[in-house]
Amino acid sequence: EAGVVQSPRYKIIEKKQPVAFWCNPISGHNTLYWYRQNLGQGPELLIRYENEEAVDDSQLPKDRFSAERLKGVDSTLKIQPAELGDSAVYLCASSPPAGGWETQYFGPGTRLLVL
């Protein structure tokens, strides 16, 4: 079974540029999470989806960040415009609807560097 897939793995951009990250969760997992992991820190939740509905986006900086999960499968996280402080690893995770829902499976992450 394929794990959570993320792309790109690395991205270097200049500040004020837009950037987008893509995530494909494990097949059958209806819950999808985006976390941001700053250097030397644990991940922090940005947004959580149940199918195509964003059920927790309280930590998402909505002035510059946006996310979507069309059709309740793949998801895209966008930053526009990027700031120096956005440099971090962006992790996507997914969990199944039942039978182990409490376990989140993480992708390899996208490492973003804003210059």
- Residues in contact with another protein by CB under 8 A are 3, 31, 33, 35, 40-45, 48, 50, 56, 89, 91, 93, 95, 101-109, 111
**Minimum distance between the CB of residue 42 and another protein, rounded to whole angstroms?**
3
Closer CB to another protein, 28 or 40, in the complex:
40
Closer CB to another protein, 23 or 91, in the complex:
91
What is the secondary structure of the chain as a DSSP string?
Answer: ----EEE-SEEEE-TT--EEEEEE--TT--EEEEEEE-TTS--EEEEEEETTEEEE-TTS-TTTEEEE-GGGS-EEEEESS--GGG-EEEEEEEE-SSSSTT--EE---EEEEE-
